[in-house]
Amino acid sequence: MEGEPGPKGHLVTFVVKEKPAIRSILFTGNKALKDKDLKAVLDLKPFTVVQEKALRENADKIEALYLTKGYVHTTVKPVVVKVSDRSADVRFEIEEGERILVKRIEIDGNEAFPDDTLKDLMETKEKGPRSH
């Protein structure tokens, strides 16, 4: 905000800086998941305005996708790369965590149902990614 004396009082000028629009969305560090799979969980789109909250929320969505595939401790950092005053690229820098697979599920104390019936009802499967 800037001000200066004027004929009828002070003239106040507000300087508004427009946030850049997203030109493209990029990923680095992703070996286990393809770009198209990562883009599918995002609600960021090219030509929308860059907003910090939306960047963090979308980074969280990528981390959640990795978790469903069994990758624990994956971190995603959103980075805005300014291309011009009006546009920027969004790059998600991914550090993939270790993949955890369930080798075997043992059920103790069950006498009412066959173990396989209970296993069929579980989200976590043998030889599949660990569910959270």
The tens place of each residue's pLDDT in the chain, 132 residues long, gives 667 777 888 888 888 788 899 999 999 999 999 999 999 999 999 999 999 999 999 999 999 999 999 999 999 999 999 999 899 999 999 999 999 887 888 888 888 888 888 888 887 777 766 555
The pLDDT value given to residue 129: 65
Domains of the chain, first to last: 18-99 (3.10.20.310), 101-132 (no CATH)
Distance CA 80, CA 1 (A): 26
Q: Where are the alpha helices (DSSP H) in the chain?
A: 35-41, 52-68, 115-121
The pLDDT value given to residue 97: 96
Q: Mark residue 123 as left, alpha or beta (left: phi above 0; alpha: psi -120 to 50; beta: remaining).
A: alpha
The pLDDT value given to residue 1: 61
The pLDDT value given to residue 130: 59
The pLDDT value given to residue 25: 98
